[in-house]
Amino acid sequence: MLLYGSQKGQAQSIAEGIAEEAEQHGLVADLSCLNETTKYNLEQENDPVVFIVSTTGDGEPPDNALQFVKRIKRKTLSTDHYKHLCYALLALGDTNYANFCNCGKTIERRLQDLGAKQFYATGYADDAHRHLTFRIWHLTCIILFTLQAPF
């Protein structure tokens, strides 16, 4: 499962690239935008989930990730709400902004608070070095995805 939140299209195109590559490796990659809530259900997701999210405004989530971020920030959610969830996250941002990758960091923090487990360390891709960071993260993620390790 691949989920993206993107303001200007960069995170979306990276997510589409990973989906394409995953399919070339014989994997089924379900790709959705975070606001397409009828297409995914994290409450019942047992397959690994990869999040690709950018940050906009002054450290805000992209418009199409706003509701998702609001939902996972609800204080009524228990600390084991996502304990079944296995994820990796790539945050896109720009170090010229004060709140570098803030949306990715917020999602990351909440997933951890709610008991989700990472299967690969979060990547923070700065616009200036994005291609290198992304390439390394992407390749490793695909390999781990393929091996389904270490579930």
Ligand X SMILES: Cc1cc2nc3c(=O)[nH]c(=O)nc-3n(C[C@H](O)[C@H](O)[C@H](O)COP(=O)(O)O)c2cc1C
In the window 87-126, what residues touch ligand X (CB under 6 A)? 92-94, 97, 99-102
The single residue among 29, 50, 51, 54 that binds ligand X, judged by CB under 6 A, is 54
Minimum CB distance to ligand X smaller for 136 or for 149: 136
DSSP character string of 20-79: HHHHHTT----EEETT-TTS--GGG--S-EEEEEE-BTTTBPPGGGHHHHHHHT-TTS-T
Kindly tell me which of 84 and 100 has the beta carbon lying closer to ligand X. Answer: 100
Cα 7–Cα 127–Cα 71 angle in degrees, nearest 5: 40
Compute how many residues bind ligand X; rule: CB under 6 A.
22
Sites of contact with ligand X (CB under 6 A): 6-11, 54-59, 62, 92-94, 97, 99-102, 127
